[in-house]
Chain A
């Protein structure tokens, strides 16, 4: 590795520091919502904390994690230095400055609009600009990833791009498409309002533009974990990837189906029609397919590993797997959480059931479990797996890593399972304090406390994670092996793949067609006839 070592180190540390701060805030928020009296709680501090927690966990942490991991993959999977490392470092600086600017603005109470922005509530322009800088940094990363892949293809004509890099670039391409929605919302509506240039906004349009980003972003978060499933876990388990082609297909399906489905976040909104909601729900049903394919392919890959290690019988191979390796353990725990979280997702996309759970705690529990659980546990495992190569030291204690992963799993279940239940009982979202004097709400109290305990366990696990990474710096054992050894080979490594599975031209064309068909009229309708506008409500200062 030439440049990636330092880039990955810097990006991942920034991501995990933001993560640690957000964890502390998260526990405080759960405490505030519980029947137990919590300090410093006012409406203003609570909602500023929620904004900080959401911004850190949804934007800052994933973007830097994905950028850092991407640089690592680009150099180790392609076995060549990263092109234009100065651009990479400029992107890091830009993103860091933006994250700091947004953070300061949030903590000064001038941005209590939550990470979903909720126009016409309008925060200080520095909040939005900070986030724009973070996204711009990620765009630079996207271009670098695409350039790295293009250069490798030119140097290796006719050969299949290594799956890890193919998937990374699929993610980059998808992210460029994804950010169009929120960028348009910020550029044309929210930032002009924050600057005082506009006094009113079309809220229906802003919600629709944001929905464009809001679903696809979860796949942006998720793909690195799937990269680990396909390219690193089979190797760690001592086996092979069942099918390289299936892997490519999975990432392509994410690219095309994660975007034209955003309206399923607006199922309960009046301003989008039944017909287009149905269309996007049908497409949403399709986006569950790549996950189903992954479960099979990775399951098969692990079965190969298990049987190679002597496992027998229908399920005996499961016990034979090397669960002492953090990547393998994390995968098992991730799949368990995916079972719960995935089921929740299927409930959310069916509008009859969605009407029972929309904006209740069920939704909050769902995304904490599926993202905070399935995806983030793999982020930890990826960090543990690549840290020896990044720091040049061997892992000091795998037992501590496994403990941290188990704590995360346990904490996540303890936190989210009662939370799902509370959602079904009707507990609604974004509340700073509940009226526990009301008899129905009082009945919720014990479950809220159980969730809080889960949150505290998660905080402990998160802090242990940071500690585990720090331990590498004091470890005395050097790490010698080559970084490329982390990657799995397929059972039948392809000699050639069709251009459709080695590049994105066809798929970009399909994304364009899909977005025009699925989002064309839903956005255009706001420009046909007159759309009533709502007055801007500033949350940063009185004017």
Chain B
């Protein structure tokens, strides 16, 4: 064979170096996104008992939906359950930092907001939290994207992104979807 072992080893090592280079580029891109754009996965190890979720605290039915707190933070709280979201429609302002918090009293669910990078699993026992800024206005579809039982196919909600001047909280800081 005209190819010597040394040439083979050298070519393989050269290729290995290129491969490691490709891998490094991927990692650098990830680090860049993390440091400059503060992109993190939606980790949030905040435990909450699913069996008593509805009884008191943050995720009682009356406390769900979008609320602006005293210091101006916009937070929307949604419960995912077999087989609906409550509330089924939430309003959020565009061009402003918002936080979405999700919990479930029963099984695994998940959401994505179509056309955005809002995407998270909703695991019973944990509060899922996503921070984002919506840039486009309109009604966005928020389906349940993880299998949660036989009614999974019909489970979805709407995220209504409105221009900042149309986002008007009431006296308690709440904003609800009108019937449109």
Residues of B within 8 A of A273 (CB): 43, 45
Q: Please tell me if the beta carbons of A352 and B3 are within 8 angstroms of each other in the complex.
A: no
Which of B18-26, B54-62, B68-76, B161-169 is near enough to bind chain A?
B18-26
Q: Which of B52-91 contact A (CB under 8 A)?
A: 82
Given contacts A286-B23, A355-B117, A272 and B43 within 8 Å (CB-CB): yes
**CB-nearest residue of chain A to B13:** A246
Given contacts A270-B45, A296-B15, A240 and B125 within 8 Å (CB-CB): no
Q: Please tell me if the beta carbons of B129 and A534 are within 8 angstroms of each other in the complex.
A: no
Contact of B107 among A200, A433, A530, A534 (CB under 8 A): A534
Q: Please tell me if the beta carbons of B40 and A351 are within 8 angstroms of each other in the complex.
A: yes
Which of A60-68, A126-134, A377-385, A422-430 is near enough to bind chain B?
A422-430
Given contacts A432-B153, A535-B51, A203 and B26 within 8 Å (CB-CB): no
**CB-nearest residue of chain B to A242:** B8
Residues of B within 8 A of A359 (CB): 110, 112, 119, 145-146
Q: How far is the CA of A118 from the CA of B22 in the complex (A)?
A: 35
Q: Please tell me if the beta carbons of B49 and A532 are within 8 angstroms of each other in the complex.
A: yes
Contact of A120 among B9, B44, B47, B107 (CB under 8 A): B107
Q: How far is the CA of A533 from the CA of B30 in the complex (A)?
A: 34
Q: Please tell me if the beta carbons of A43 and B49 are within 8 angstroms of each other in the complex.
A: no
Q: How far is the CA of A44 from the CA of B121 in the complex (A)?
A: 23
Task: Give B106 Cβ to nearest chain A Cβ, in Å.
Answer: 7
**CB-nearest residue of chain B to A120:** B107
Contact of B41 among A277, A360, A531 (CB under 8 A): A277
Q: Please tell me if the beta carbons of A358 and B20 are within 8 angstroms of each other in the complex.
A: no
Q: How far is the CA of A202 from the CA of B125 in the complex (A)?
A: 8
Residues of A within 8 A of B128 (CB): 270
A195 contacts the other chain (CB 8 A): no
Q: How far is the CA of A532 from the CA of B18 in the complex (A)?
A: 46
Task: Give A340 Cβ to nearest chain B Cβ, in Å.
Answer: 17
A297 contacts the other chain (CB 8 A): yes
Which of A287-295, A396-404, A464-472, A499-507 is near enough to bind chain B?
A287-295
Contact of B120 among A270, A286, A360, A426 (CB under 8 A): A270
Contact with B along A424-447 (1 / 0, CB 8 A): 001011111110000010000000
Given contacts A240-B1, A351-B40, A492-B8, A271 and B119 within 8 Å (CB-CB): no
Task: Give B177 Cβ to nearest chain A Cβ, in Å.
Answer: 18
Residues of B within 8 A of A431 (CB): 152-153
Residues of B within 8 A of A492 (CB): 1, 5, 8
Contact of B147 among A47, A204, A352 (CB under 8 A): A47
Q: How far is the CA of A450 from the CA of B102 in the complex (A)?
A: 36
Given contacts A293-B12, A532-B47, A360 and B145 within 8 Å (CB-CB): yes
Q: Please tell me if the beta carbons of A352 and B123 are within 8 angstroms of each other in the complex.
A: no
Contact with B along A170-199 (1 / 0, CB 8 A): 000000000000000000000000000000
Beyond A277-B41, A281-B30, A296-B12, 7 extra complex contacts between A and B, CB < 8 Å = A266-B121, A277-B43, A278-B30, A355-B118, A430-B153, A532-B49, A532-B50
**Interchain Cβ contacts under 8 Å between A and B, 25 examples:** A118-B107, A119-B108, A121-B107, A121-B148, A121-B149, A203-B123, A243-B9, A245-B12, A270-B121, A271-B125, A274-B40, A293-B15, A300-B11, A355-B117, A359-B112, A360-B112, A426-B112, A428-B144, A429-B146, A430-B147, A430-B152, A440-B141, A532-B51, A533-B125, A539-B149
Nearest first, the 7 closest Cβ-Cβ pairs linking A and B are A534-B124, A426-B114, A359-B145, A428-B145, A43-B150, A532-B125, A292-B19
